[in-house]
C-alpha cells in the first residue's frame, strides 16, 4: 500500500482565513464600542459666534488701511499704527499679546490710541521671539478683528 503524502495547505489556508475573520470581527466590535462625537452639543451657538468672527475679519480686510505693529529697536518700543479713518476716542477694544512658547508671558491691554492714531508698548514687556498679536475693537457699533505675527529680535 502506497502511503500518500498529505498536503497541509488546505488546513493552513483555513487557519489564515479564520484568523483574518476573527481580527476583522474584533476590529468591527471595537470600532462600534468607541464613543465618537463629531458634533458639539451647542454647535449652533458656536457656529453663530464663528460666523460673527468671520464677519469681523472680513470687515477689517475691507478697510482702506490695516492696523500695523512694528518694533522700534532704537527706542525699545512696540508701536501700533491704527487706521486714520477711526477717531481715537471712539475706538473701544482690547489687544492680546500671545506668546505660543510660554503662556505665562501672555497679556491683554485695552486699546488707547493717542491723537496720532498710535499706541505704544514698552519693549520691556516683550522677550525676544515670536509673538501673536490679536486685536478686537468696535467703532460706531461695528466690530473688527485683526491678527498679526511679530518676531522681536534685539541685539544682545
What is the structure's pLDDT at 103?
86
> What CATH superfamily classification does 64-152 receive?
Immunoglobulins (2.60.40.10)
What is the structure's pLDDT at 113?
92
| Average pLDDT by stretches of 10, the chain with 156 residues | 71 94 96 74 79 94 93 90 90 93 90 92 88 94 94 77
Do the beta carbons of residue 74 and residue 119 sit within 8 Å?
Answer: no
- Main-chain phi, psi angles of 113, to 5 degrees: -85, 145
Taking CA atoms, 142 is separated from 25, 59, 65, 82, 104, in Å, by 57, 9, 16, 16, 32
What is the structure's pLDDT at 145?
96
What is the structure's pLDDT at 79?
93
What is the structure's pLDDT at 44?
76
Q: What is the pTM of this model?
A: 0.68
Nearest to 129 by CA among 152, 111, 150, 113: 152
What is the structure's pLDDT at 2?
53
What is the structure's pLDDT at 124?
84
Question: Count of CB atoms within 10 A of residue 43's CB?
Answer: 11
What is the structure's pLDDT at 40?
65
Domain boundaries, the chain: 64-152
Amino acid at each position: 500500500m502506497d502511503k500518500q503524502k498529505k498536503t497541509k495547505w488546505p488546513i493552513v489556508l483555513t487557519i489564515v482565513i479564520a484568523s483574518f475573520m476573527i481580527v476583522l470581527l474584533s476590529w468591527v466590535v471595537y470600532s462600534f464600542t468607541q464613543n465618537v462625537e463629531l458634533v458639539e452639543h451647542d454647535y449652533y451657538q458656536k457656529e453663530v459666534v464663528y460666523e460673527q468672527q468671520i464677519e469681523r475679519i472680513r470687515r477689517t480686510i475691507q478697510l482702506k488701511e490695516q492696523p500695523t505693529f512694528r518694533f522700534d529697536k532704537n527706542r525699545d518700543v512696540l508701536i501700533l499704527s491704527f487706521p486714520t479713518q477711526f477717531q481715537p476716542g471712539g475706538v473701544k477694544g482690547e489687544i492680546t499679546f500671545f506668546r505660543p512658547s510660554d503662556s505665562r508671558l501672555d497679556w491683554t491691554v485695552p486699546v488707547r490710541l493717542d491723537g496720532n492714531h498710535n499706541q505704544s508698548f514698552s519693549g520691556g514687556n516683550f522677550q525676544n521671539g515670536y509673538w501673536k498679536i490679536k486685536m478686537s475693537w468696535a467703532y460706531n457699533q461695528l466690530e473688527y478683528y485683526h491678527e498679526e505675527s511679530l518676531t522681536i529680535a534685539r541685539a544682545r
